[in-house]
């Protein structure tokens, strides 16, 4: 087995990315996705109303991630947490491979820039439906880019089929429509520049992209919620409660080391832009700016920025730095060393995977109130549960259908007003007792730092039945 | 060169730069009470008054009883004296006037720098106002406004020096001498020097010239002289120690809100975000060649602004002048703009200005001195009664308390202003006495386990707290404490004897 240094570099790069993407499941929403997947498989229907909370039971609910929830549940049934972690790590690696294919200066410049982009987006990785959106986003960009360069229609044909899947996997399908729209705008601009007539050279591209956009829009209607899903992404983006209270919608905090690579990516773009001799295409500039804006606005958009900006940065750096073009076969001395390095890298991945699997139970205990939920499952206290927002999903997985939750990570379902009420109760604001009585809440499960914990400890009506460093469980006397 | 004759009218008509000065000056007077949305001006007023009255600069802590007598470098003594000169003449209105003058002069300098770099006048004015709006996030009647002014002065002079223009070297140590005695952000001056020095080396290296050149020697000499000048202050080398210790504390940078990364959901953060996006867009579309120093300046200040929102104003002052080249290019693209620029230029060539800023400033000062209220609400300048325990302090003045007090740190400066020397406070917003002491304050305020021991350690007998603080809730239900005073903002509790 002969590898050139370039091939070896690329292989090691993606093995390293796969290794980075292997991590225990700690996402608060994972658990209700898993339960929803189970519900869909067992009932063979896609829920259109909320089945999980007692506060919003029966309220219309757009399960826009239903297909990925089936996938999550199916993988879990097949191979447990391990298989889920492996497959989602593969999705992440595939996403960055597509980004790599779009990048100039392969393998070295593109590789290092890709690594920076991957590090910048790594804090958001995990077993989450968004990961699928990143893969589709990268696929759309690659195909549209290829089309822009070659003008071959074959690159556009897969887009409607991908859209058909995307719209049933995640509500961020709207990004795909926006990307086609962006390239169409670019083509219209070029057509106008070329004479704006029937015989102008770019008319064919305008027609093709316009047709694909129309077909993609039609494809978005093929979902269980029909037209309703078309407005859904914009409702989510305009929710004040989500933007102000949910951490992944916050701006990145550059005091935290995990966001430093994002800072370096932004600085590299500025530096390369100032010093570089290469002018980017208007589409690349718009992509970088729009997703840079979104990334600084909300950390959940950082991967989209990385996917959009890595090729732009690689293009600019390729114009500044000499590309080390080493296409020669590997030296004889490396004939055995190179494959050995690949084997070692794969071995490291296997060790990492084993560690991650072993850490899963510890991670679950670290992030979720496992022991307190064990207590509930064992003692079956009566009444409704008031729970911390971030634990609702875990309770749905562990306790549904015996118990329904007060709130969980489906902020879109609950709405701004309800989330505001929840926050007032959780902070122990005056009137919290009446609210709990009204909802027949007789069990409260909170983090020890919650202000309501202090109120409950000093209330004659409540008693602590379980407590550890992670959680406090109260039951009404 | 023979100076062109100017008609009498030329002295009476304002130039664009005069209008910018007047606009910013008057705007600051209108929103003056906003400059007191932070308690620190209170401490600076009292410190300045002590210096004024005793003609000595205190170098030990006077206001906080837990650290009473400990060395306290007077890092802003000169700024305090200048602010207090205004305060003695016009009360809080005097602080507003000093702040308004500092901001107006700073942005007049930014405008002039844009013009000097070739930007058209109208676009220079718009860019200057944009820079001013970016800095508004940190418009407070505090010594850091001097840093705005000195940064604007330094960057314009260093840019010229780096280009090989003749700039008297004595100006640099003078700027740093004043800066080091007015505000701790003087340390950023040396980052700017480092960038210009690296930029010079980079250019020489790229052009295969000798690294040792007269410009580099001047840059190095000015930096060394200026560095030496920063040691001429009442605390000497300890000022550097203080600044470096403060900057290196990750606990403090996570605790103090102005050190946090900007929140781009807020309008102020959004303006910064739009500026970053616009910078990248301008760089991508422009044909202008950029020097390494310009690249490093933009990169370094973007990073600092993203790291801590308090650096955004300095980002604006340093980087907005870099836009001059792109603004100039617009003249080629938009012919009406070029015509307008020529008309304004020919008009301004006949003007000498200066009169209007001076007259407007003097008239406003005279109006304030005669009791006219120039703030938009016509209420006069005051600390905000919703954010500060104004009524609670009134109550304390009429109901004197004995024993040590515990207070909420952002109120410390205001309490010093209102209650010292009758009372000494537990803490204020200076944070120069180590993390342990600040952590203890946080532990008590949030009633974390062990808070009672800290109350005993400092022999605290009463507490002035935010009405919605955890400790206020806890003390309401603690049998050992009783409530003395309560309003929407603050509560006063006393330990049962």
Sheet with A441-446, strands from edge to edge, namely: A384-387, A441-446, A472-476, A462-467
Opening angle at CA A228, ends A224 and A232, nearest 5: 110
3-class secondary-structure state, position A427? coil
Q: Which residues of chain A have pLDDT under 70?
A: 1-2, 200-201, 277, 323-334
pLDDT tens, residue by residue, B393-429: 999 999 999 999 999 999 999 999 999 999 999 999 8
Interface test with B, best of A274, A275, A300 (most B CBs within 10 A): A274
C-beta separation of B100 from B29 below 8 A = yes
Nearest CA in chain A to B253: A255
Interface test with A, best of B205, B283, B446, B467 (most A CBs within 10 A): B283
Print burial letters for A399-433: b (CB count within 10 Å at least 16), e (below 16).
bbeebbbbbbbbbbbbbbebbebbeebbebeeebb
Cα atoms in the Cβ-side hemisphere of radius 13 Å centred on B180: 27
Cis peptide before A107 (omega within 30 of 0): yes
| Among the partner residues A251, A274, A280, nearest to B290 by beta-carbon distance | A274
Nearest CA in chain A to B270: A297
In a domain, A345, yes or no: no
Q: Which residues of B touch A271 (CB under 8 A)?
A: 295, 299
- For residues A299 and A405, membership in a common domain is answered with no
Nearest CA in chain B to A295: B264
CA dist., res. A164 & res. A216, Å (int): 8
CB contact under 8 A, B269 and A285: no
Q: Which of A299, A320, A341 is the last residue before a domain boundary?
A: A320
What pLDDT, on the 0 to 100 scale, is given for residue B491? 95
CA dist., res. A271 & res. B298, Å (int): 8
CB-defined contacts A:B, below 8 A? 83
Sheet with B460-466, strands from edge to edge, namely: B404-407, B460-466, B490-495, B481-486
Instruction: Summarize the confidence of residues B8-12 as an average pLDDT.
Output: 75
What pLDDT, on the 0 to 100 scale, is given for residue B1? 46
- For residues A467 and A379, membership in a common domain is answered with yes
What pLDDT, on the 0 to 100 scale, is given for residue A129? 95
Beta-sheet pairing, B481-486 with B460-466: unpaired
Give DSSP secondary structure letters for B315-382: HHHHHGGGGHHHHHHHHHH-HHHHHHHHHHHHHHTT----HHHHHHHHHHHHHHHTT---STTSS-S-
C-beta separation of A472 from A446 below 8 A = yes
What pLDDT, on the 0 to 100 scale, is given for residue B72? 87
What pLDDT, on the 0 to 100 scale, is given for residue B205? 86
Cis peptide before B421 (omega within 30 of 0): yes
Q: Hey, is the C-beta of B466 within 8 angstroms of any chain A C-beta?
A: no
What pLDDT, on the 0 to 100 scale, is given for residue B497? 76
CB contact under 8 A, A267 and B276: no
- For residues A34 and A168, membership in a common domain is answered with yes
DSSP 8-state secondary structure symbol assigned to residue B256: S
What pLDDT, on the 0 to 100 scale, is given for residue A146? 95
Q: How far is CA B42 from CA A255, B94, B406, B463, in A?
A: 30, 13, 18, 19
**Residues near B118 by Cβ (< 8 Å), separated by ≥ 6?**
B324, B325, B328
In a domain, A103, yes or no: yes
The closest alpha carbon to B169, from B210, B211, B215, B116, belongs to: B215
Number of domains in chain A: 2
C-beta separation of B150 from B110 below 8 A = no
Instruction: Summarize the confidence of residues B327-341 as an average pLDDT.
Output: 86
CB contact under 8 A, B280 and A451: no
C-beta separation of B108 from B101 below 8 A = no
CA dist., res. B409 & res. B431, Å (int): 9
In a domain, A243, yes or no: yes
CA dist., res. A425 & res. B356, Å (int): 57
Q: Which has more confidence, B147 or A336? A: B147
CB contact under 8 A, A250 and B306: no
DSSP E strand boundaries for A31-72:
none
Nearest CA in chain A to B203: A275
Q: Which has more confidence, B352 or B39? A: B39
Instruction: Summarize the confidence of residues B179-203 as an average pLDDT.
Output: 95
Element (H, E) at B274: helix B267-285
- For residues A135 and A268, membership in a common domain is answered with yes
- For residues A131 and A32, membership in a common domain is answered with yes
- For residues A300 and A417, membership in a common domain is answered with no
The closest alpha carbon to B66, from B440, B359, B492, belongs to: B440
Q: Which residues of B touch A280 (CB under 8 A)?
A: 284
State the smallest CA–CA distance between residue A305 and chain B in angstroms.
Answer: 13
CB contact under 8 A, A263 and B470: no
Nearest CA in chain B to A299: B264
In a domain, A354, yes or no: no
| Among the partner residues B259, B273, B279, nearest to A296 by beta-carbon distance | B273
pLDDT tens, residue by residue, B418-465: 999 999 999 998 877 778 888 999 999 988 889 999 999 999 999 999
Nearest CA in chain B to A290: B277
Element (H, E) at A358: helix A337-367
For A447, list phi and psi in degrees, rounded to 5.
-75, 145
CB contact under 8 A, B284 and A254: no
**Residues near B365 by Cβ (< 8 Å), separated by ≥ 6?**
B90, B97
- Tell me what percent of the residues of chain B surpass a pLDDT of 90: 65
Q: Which residues of A touch B259 (CB under 8 A)?
A: 255
Q: If you compute the radius of gyration of chain A from its CA atoms, what whole number of angstroms results?
A: 25
Q: Hey, is the C-beta of A250 within 8 angstroms of any chain B C-beta?
A: yes
pLDDT tens, residue by residue, A374-386: 999 999 999 999 9
Q: Hey, is the C-beta of A237 within 8 angstroms of any chain B C-beta?
A: no
C-beta separation of A35 from A52 below 8 A = yes
CB contact under 8 A, A251 and B277: no
Q: How far is CA A233 from CA A70, A229, A236, A248, in A?
A: 21, 7, 5, 16
Cα atoms in the Cβ-side hemisphere of radius 13 Å centred on B388: 25
Opening angle at CA B292, ends B286 and B297, nearest 5: 85
The closest alpha carbon to A246, from A258, A236, A254, belongs to: A236
DSSP 8-state secondary structure symbol assigned to residue B494: E
Range of the domain at A87: 5-320
- For residues A280 and A380, membership in a common domain is answered with no
pLDDT tens, residue by residue, B355-397: 889 999 999 999 999 999 999 988 999 988 888 999 999 999 9
What pLDDT, on the 0 to 100 scale, is given for residue B321? 92
In a domain, A341, yes or no: no
**Residues near A5 by Cβ (< 8 Å), separated by ≥ 6?**
A326, A330, A334, A338
When pLDDT is cut at 50, 70 and 90, the band that residue B24 belongs to is very high
For A441, list phi and psi in degrees, rounded to 5.
-80, 120
Interface test with A, best of B264, B292, B488 (most A CBs within 10 A): B264
State the smallest CA–CA distance between residue A295 and chain B in angstroms.
Answer: 10
- The residues in B 224-263 lying below 8 A from A, measured between CB atoms, are 250, 253-254, 259-263
- For residues A401 and A311, membership in a common domain is answered with no
In a domain, A155, yes or no: yes
- For residues A282 and A385, membership in a common domain is answered with no
The closest alpha carbon to B75, from B114, B117, B109, B47, belongs to: B47
The pTM of this model reads 0.87
C-beta separation of A358 from A425 below 8 A = no
Q: Other C-beta atoms within 10 Å of B151: how many? A: 25
What pLDDT, on the 0 to 100 scale, is given for residue B14? 87
Q: Which residues of A touch B290 (CB under 8 A)?
A: 274-275
State the smallest CA–CA distance between residue A18 and chain B in angstroms.
Answer: 29
CA dist., res. B373 & res. B30, Å (int): 9
Q: Which residues of A touch B318 (CB under 8 A)?
A: none
In a domain, A279, yes or no: yes
In a domain, A201, yes or no: yes
Q: What is the ipTM of this complex?
A: 0.83
C-beta separation of A319 from A278 below 8 A = yes
Q: Which residues of A touch B285 (CB under 8 A)?
A: 285
CA dist., res. A278 & res. B344, Å (int): 36
State the smallest CA–CA distance between residue A254 and chain B in angstroms.
Answer: 5
- The residues in A 395-454 lying below 8 A from B, measured between CB atoms, are 428, 451, 454
For B447, list phi and psi in degrees, rounded to 5.
50, 40
- For residues A372 and A261, membership in a common domain is answered with no
Q: Which residues of A touch B474 (CB under 8 A)?
A: 454
Q: Calculate the average pLDDT of chain B.
A: 90
DSSP 8-state secondary structure symbol assigned to residue A278: P
- For residues A382 and A261, membership in a common domain is answered with no
- For residues A316 and A376, membership in a common domain is answered with no
CA dist., res. B252 & res. B308, Å (int): 12
């Amino acid at each position: 087995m002969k590898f050139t240094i370039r091939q070896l570099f690329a292989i090691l790069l993606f093995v390293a990315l796969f290794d980075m993407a292997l991590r225990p499941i700690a996402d608060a929403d994972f658990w209700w996705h898993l339960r929803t997947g189970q519900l869909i498989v067992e009932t063979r229907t896609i829920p259109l109303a909320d089945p999980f909370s007692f506060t919003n039971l029966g309220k219309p609910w757009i399960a826009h991630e239903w297909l990925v929830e089936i996938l999550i549940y199916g993988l879990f049934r097949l191979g447990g947490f391990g298989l889920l972690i492996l497959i989602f790590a593969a999705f992440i690696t595939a996403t960055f491979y597509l980004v790599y294919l779009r990048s100039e200066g392969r393998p070295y410049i593109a590789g290092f820039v890709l690594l920076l982009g991957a590090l910048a987006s790594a804090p958001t990785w995990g077993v989450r439906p968004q990961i699928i959106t990143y893969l589709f986003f990268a696929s759309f960009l690659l195909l549209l880019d290829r089309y822009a360069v070659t003008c071959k229609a074959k690159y556009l044909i897969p887009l409607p089929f991908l859209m058909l899947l995307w719209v049933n996997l995640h509500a961020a399908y709207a990004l795909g429509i926006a990307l086609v729209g962006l390239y169409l705008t670019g083509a219209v601009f070029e057509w106008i520049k070329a004479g704006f007539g029937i015989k102008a050279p770019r008319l064919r591209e305008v027609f093709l992209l316009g047709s694909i956009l129309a077909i993609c829009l039609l494809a978005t209607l093929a979902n269980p919620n029909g037209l309703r899903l078309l407005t859904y992404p914009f409702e989510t983006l305009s929710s004040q409660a989500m933007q102000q209270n949910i951490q992944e919608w916050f701006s990145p905090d550059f005091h935290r080391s995990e966001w430093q690579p994002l800072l370096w990516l932004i600085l590299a773009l500025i530096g390369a832009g100032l010093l570089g001799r290469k002018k980017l295409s208007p589409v690349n500039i718009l992509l970088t700016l729009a997703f840079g804006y979104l990334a600084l606005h909300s950390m959940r958009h950082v991967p989209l920025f990385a996917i959009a900006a890595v090729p732009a940065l690689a293009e600019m750096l390729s114009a500044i730095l000499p590309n080390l073009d080493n296409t020669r076969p590997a030296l004889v001395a490396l004939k055995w060393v190179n494959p050995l390095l690949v084997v070692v890298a794969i071995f490291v991945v296997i060790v990492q995977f084993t560690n991650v699997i072993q850490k899963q139970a510890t991670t679950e205990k670290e992030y979720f109130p496992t022991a307190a939920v064990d207590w509930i499952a064992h003692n079956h206290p009566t009444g409704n549960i008031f729970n911390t927002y971030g634990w609702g999903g875990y309770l749905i997985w562990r306790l549904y259908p015996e118990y329904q939750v007060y709130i969980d990570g489906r902020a879109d379902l609950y709405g701004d007003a309800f989330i505001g009420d929840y926050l007032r109760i959780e902070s122990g604001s005056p009137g919290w007792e009446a609210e709990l009585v009204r909802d027949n809440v007789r069990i409260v499960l909170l983090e020890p730092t919650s202000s309501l914990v202090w109120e409950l400890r000093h209330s004659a009506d409540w008693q602590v039945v379980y407590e550890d460093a992670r959680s406090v469980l109260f039951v009404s006397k | 060169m023979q100076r062109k004759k100017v008609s009498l009218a030329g002295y009476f008509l304002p130039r664009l730069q005069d209008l910018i000065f007047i606009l910013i000056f008057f705007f600051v007077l209108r929103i003056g009470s906003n400059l007191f949305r932070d308690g620190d001006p209170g401490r600076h007023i009292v410190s300045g008054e002590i210096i004024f009255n005793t003609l000595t600069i205190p170098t030990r802590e006077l206001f906080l009883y837990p650290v009473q007598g400990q060395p306290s470098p007077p890092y802003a003594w000169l700024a305090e004296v200048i602010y207090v000169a205004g305060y003695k003449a016009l009360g809080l209105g005097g602080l507003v006037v000093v702040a308004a003058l500092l901001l107006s002069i700073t942005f007049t300098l930014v405008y002039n720098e844009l013009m000097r770099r070739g930007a058209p006048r109208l676009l220079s004015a718009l860019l200057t106002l944009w820079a001013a709006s970016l800095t508004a996030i940190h418009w407070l009647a505090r010594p850091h406004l001097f840093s705005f002014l000195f940064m604007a002065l330094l960057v314009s002079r260093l840019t010229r020096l780096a280009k090989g223009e003749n700039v008297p070297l004595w100006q640099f140590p003078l700027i740093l001498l004043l800066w080091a005695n007015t505000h701790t952000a003087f340390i950023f001056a040396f980052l700017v020097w480092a960038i210009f020095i690296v930029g010079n080396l980079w250019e020489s290296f790229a052009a295969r010239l000798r690294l040792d050149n007269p410009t580099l020697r001047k840059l190095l000499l000015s930096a060394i002289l200026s560095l030496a000048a920063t040691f001429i202050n009442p605390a000497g080398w300890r000022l550097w120690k203080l600044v470096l210790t403060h900057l290196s504390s990750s606990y403090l940078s996570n605790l103090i809100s102005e050190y946090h990364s900007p929140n781009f959901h807020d309008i102020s953060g959004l303006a910064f975000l739009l500026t970053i996006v616009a910078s990248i867009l301008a760089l991508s579309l422009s044909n202008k060649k950029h020097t390494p120093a310009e690249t490093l300046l933009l990169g370094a200040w973007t990073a600092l602004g993203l790291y801590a929102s308090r650096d955004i104003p300095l980002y604006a002052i340093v980087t907005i002048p870099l836009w001059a080249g792109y603004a100039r290019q617009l003249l080629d693209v938009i012919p009406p703009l070029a015509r307008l620029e020529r008309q304004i230029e020919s008009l301004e060539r006949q003007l000498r200005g200066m009169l209007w800023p001076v007259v407007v400033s003097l008239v406003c000062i005279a109006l304030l001195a005669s009791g006219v209220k120039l703030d938009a609400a016509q209420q006069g300048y005051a600390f905000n009664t919703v954010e500060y325990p104004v009524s609670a302090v009134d109550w304390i003045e009429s109901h004197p308390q004995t024993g040590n007090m515990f207070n909420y740190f952002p109120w410390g400066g205001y309490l010093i202003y209102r209650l010292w020397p009758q009372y000494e406070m537990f803490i204020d917003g200076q944070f120069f006495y180590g993390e342990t002491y600040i952590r203890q304050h946080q532990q008590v305020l949030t009633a974390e386990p062990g808070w009672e021991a800290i109350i005993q350690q400092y022999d605290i007998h009463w507490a002035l707290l935010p009405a919605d603080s955890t400790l206020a809730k806890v003390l309401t239900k603690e049998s050992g404490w009783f409530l003395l005073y309560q309003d929407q903002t603050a509560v006063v509790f006393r330990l049962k004897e």
